[in-house]
């Protein structure tokens, strides 16, 4: 299981000012807390800084790397920012994200070839996001063929089938899970990844929906998530589901998490 911490993202209202002010202390603190909570990678996105993005992204990555050991997911729609970000990443980087839209694909592929990062690849092209499992598989196939052709080994490719809000399409989670099954069967070595929050758009108690969606994804073999690792219930659910799915021999991870206090938040509710 691979967890990418999503919190350092300039589209979040409280983050953009920290990035603009180059508040290294606050950014490092947020990176550290995500790693302590279980994130393997810290995603860094400065896209809303527009013309300031390239410089800020490089600064944020270097600042985080100086202070903690986390690997970095370089998150940008801009090939120039991506290149600059990948240049300063110390360990193996993740690139978030490529897709089959003509401009995105042709702009990013040279960067992918040059830096050979792990790549998050979205099932989306110029006509949009497919709404059927077969449609998602077809785009996943094109993505895998294109990326392996560019020298990325299958185990470094993370396919995101892309989830829609359940509020607008009651069948979309079933389709998503079916696509996940198809992709994993067709490409056993390729990994899969997804974000969680889109599924709950337009509904009350979004965290609850995201948490249950995570468990469903786990049951269908999802390899990685981009999420908020500071959500304690989410992380507790993940440890529990992995144990129940037979991915935790002798329940070692689960019990370790309990002893490390990761389930302490449940105690407060007993009284």
Partner 1 sequence: MDRTEILDALKQAILTYDEDGARALVAQALEAGIPPLELVDGGLSRGIKAIGEKFQAMEVFLPELMLAAKVFLSALEMIEPALVGLGENRARQGVAVIGTVKGDVHSIGKDLFATLLKVAGFEVHNLGVNVHPGRFVEKAQETGAQIVGLSALMTTTMPSMREVVELFVTQGIRDRHAILIGGSPVTQAFCDKIQADGYGETAQDGVDLAVRFAGQREQRRQPC
Q: At closest approach, how far in Å is the CB of 142 from partner 1?
A: 16
Of 120 and 238, the one with the shorter C-beta distance to partner 1 is 120
Length of the chain: 271
Q: Which helix (H) or strand (E) holds 194?
A: strand 191-195
Q: Which helix (H) or strand (E) holds 227?
A: strand 224-227
Give 185-188 contacts, CB < 8 A, sequence gap 24+.
186/137, 186/140, 186/141, 187/140, 187/141, 187/144, 187/154, 187/159
Following DSSP, what letter does each residue of 134-176 receive, concatenated?
A: HHHHHHHHHHHHHHHHTT--GGGEEEE--PPPTTT-TTHHHHH
| Least gap, CB of 237 to partner 1 (angstroms) | 23
Query: Residue 217 has which token pair?
Result: 């994804």
**Judged by CB, which is closer to partner 1: 164, or 263?**
164
Residues in contact with partner 1 by CB under 8 A are 11, 47-48, 50, 77-78, 101, 103, 124, 126-129, 164-168, 170, 201-204
Q: How far is the CB of 169 from partner 1 (least distance, A)?
A: 9
The least CB distance from residue 40 to partner 1, in Å, is 27
Which residue number, 64 or 209, has a Cβ lying nearer to partner 1? 209
The smaller minimum CB distance to partner 1, of residues 39 and 46, is found at 46
CB nearer partner 1, residue 131 or residue 155:
131
**CA angle (29, 7, 94) in 5-degree steps:** 100
- Helix, strand, coil distribution of the chain in percent, nearest 5: 55, 15, 30
Question: Of 78 and 142, which CB lies nearer to partner 1 in the complex structure?
Answer: 78
Q: What is the nearest approach in angstroms of partner 1 to the Cβ of residue 66?
A: 28
Least distance in Å: CB of 252 to partner 1?
41
| Structure letter (DSSP) for residue 223 | -
């Amino acid at each position: 299981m691979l967890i990418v911490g999503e919190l350092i993202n300039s589209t979040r209202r409280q983050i953009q000012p920290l990035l603009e002010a180059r508040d290294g202390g606050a950014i490092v603190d947020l990176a550290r807390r995500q790693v302590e909570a279980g994130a393997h990678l810290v995603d860094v996105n400065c896209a809303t800084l527009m013309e300031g993005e390239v410089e800020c992204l490089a600064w944020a990555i270097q600042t985080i790397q100086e202070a903690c050991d986390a690997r970095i997911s370089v998150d940008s729609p801009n090939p120039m920012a991506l290149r600059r970000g990948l240049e300063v990443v110390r360990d193996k980087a993740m690139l978030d994200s490529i897709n089959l839209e003509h401009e995105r694909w042709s702009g990013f592929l040279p960067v992918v070839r040059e830096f050979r990062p792990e790549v998050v690849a979205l099932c989306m092209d110029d006509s949009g996001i497919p709404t059927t499992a077969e449609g998602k598989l077809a785009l996943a196939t094109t993505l895998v063929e294109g990326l392996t052709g560019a020298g990325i080994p299958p185990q470094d490719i993370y396919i995101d089938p892309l989830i829609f809000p359940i509020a607008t399409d009651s069948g979309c989670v079933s389709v998503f899970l079916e696509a996940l099954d198809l992709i994993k069967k067709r490409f056993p070595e390729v990994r899969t990844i997804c974000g969680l929050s889109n599924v709950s758009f337009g509904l009350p108690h979004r965290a609850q929906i995201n948490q249950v969606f995570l468990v469903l994804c786990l049951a269908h073999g999802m390899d990685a998530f981009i999420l908020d690792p500071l959500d304690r219930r989410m992380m507790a659910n993940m440890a529990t589901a992995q144990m129940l799915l037979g991915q935790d021999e002798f329940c070692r991870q689960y019990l370790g998490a309990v002893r490390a206090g990761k389930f302490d938040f449940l105690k407060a509710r007993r009284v």
